[in-house]
Amino acid sequence: MKTRRLVYSAVLLMFMAMSLTISAQQKTSLKDAYQGCFLVGAALNPSEFAGENPRNYALITSQFNTISPENVLKWEVIHPKPDTYNFALGDQYVEFGQKHHMFIIGHTLVWHAQTPRWVFEDEKGNPLTREALLQRLHDHIQTVVGHYKGKVNGWDVVNEVLNEDGTLRQSPWMKIIGEDYIQKAFEFAHAADPQAQLYYNDYSLENEAKRKGALDLVKKLKAKGVPITGVGLQDHFGMEWPSAQQLDTTISEFGQLGVKVMITELDVDVLPETKGSQTADVSLNIAADPKLNPYAGGLPDAMQQKLAQRYAELFATYAKHCGVVTRVTFWGVTDADSWKNNWPVRGRTNYPLLFDRSALPKPAFQAVIEAAPKKTM
C-alpha cells in the first residue's frame, strides 16, 4: 500500500509538472484570464476528485477555481433508500474543493430525473400525499444541505422544471405537490444554509418560449421573497445554435431581473445535429448511425478552427456581461470524459471541450484565452 501511494504521488507530481510547463507555454490559465470577470470551472467525476486520475487532477487544479459534481450529490446517489444517505463520495468531492480553495457547487436537490421511484411512494407503493412528499422534500434538503453547510457555496436547488414551451413540467413533484414545490425547495435550502447561494438551473433557455417561462418563474419567486440568487444556463450548445444574439439577450433579460447568471454545464457539440440538438433531456436516446459519427478517427483541423471560433464567440458574449455572469463551468474536463460521447447517441466520438483526450489544450483553449477582457495596468 505504501509503495502504491509513493508511485501515485510520483505520477501526480509528474503530471503537475507537465501542467505547469503547459501553463507556462500558454502564459496564462483559464481562471487567471477571467479573474475579476467570472469564475471558470468544470464538472468532476469521482476518479478526478478522488485522485485516481492524476493527469486530470493536475489540469483541474491549474485551470479552474470552481467545481461542480457530475452525479455524486444527485438524489439517487446520495439518498438511495428512505433511511440511507451515502455521503462518502460527496465528502471526497467537497474536500477536494476545499483543499484547492475552490468555489464549490452542489448539484442538484430537486429534479425529475435520477430520483428514485420510492421518493414519490408510500411503503405500499401508492403515491404520497402532498403533505408527505413535502415532508420528504424538506427532510432530504435539510439533511443534504445541512451536512455541507458552510462548505458548499452554491446549490442548484431546482433543475429543469420547464417544458420547451415555457410551461411547468408535469413531473411527480408537480402532480403531487403543485407548483409551489419550487418555492418550498428554495425556502428549505435557505433554512438549511442561509449563507449558500441558491440557483434555478435549466437548458435551452436561449429559446424565446422557454426563456419567457423561466423569466416569469423568477419574477414570481422574487415577488414572494423567495431567496433565489441566480439562474443557471446549462449551455449545451451546437456549432450553430444558439446565435450570439440569442445568448446575449438571454443573459441581459435575466440580469434585468436582478439575479446573477451562471453558465453551468457548457459544452459545444461538433457532431451532426439530431432531433435533440436543442435539448439536454437525459431520457433522449437516438439509434446509432455511422453518419452521425463522422470523426471517429479524430477531429479535422478545419473543424478544430471552427470550434475555436465558436468558443471565442461564446466567451466574448459571456465577458460582455462581467458582473452579471459570475461563473462559467464546463460539463467535463477533457473530451474523453464528456457525456456527449454517449448522448443522445451512444458510442460516438465527440470533441465538445477545450482539452483533448490526452488532456492537451485544443485551439479552442487559446481562442477562449484571447477572448478574455484585456486587463489594464
Which residues are catalytic, by number?
Answer: 160, 265
Cell of 124: 405500499
**Which backbone phi and psi does 246 adopt, to 5 degrees?**
-60, -45
Return the beta strands (E) in the chain as ranges: 39-44, 66-69, 103-110, 154-159, 197-202, 230-233, 236-238, 260-269, 325-330
Cβ within 8 Å of residue 149, ≥6 positions away:
192, 193, 196
Contacts of 293-300 spanning 24+ positions with Cβ under 8 A: 293/345, 293/347, 293/348, 293/349, 295/270, 295/271, 295/349, 295/351, 296/348, 296/349, 299/270, 299/351
Q: Which of 277, 272, 280 lies closest to 303 in space, CA to CA?
A: 272
Residue 62 three-state SS:
helix
Distance CA 340, CA 347 (A): 9
Three-class SS state of 132? helix
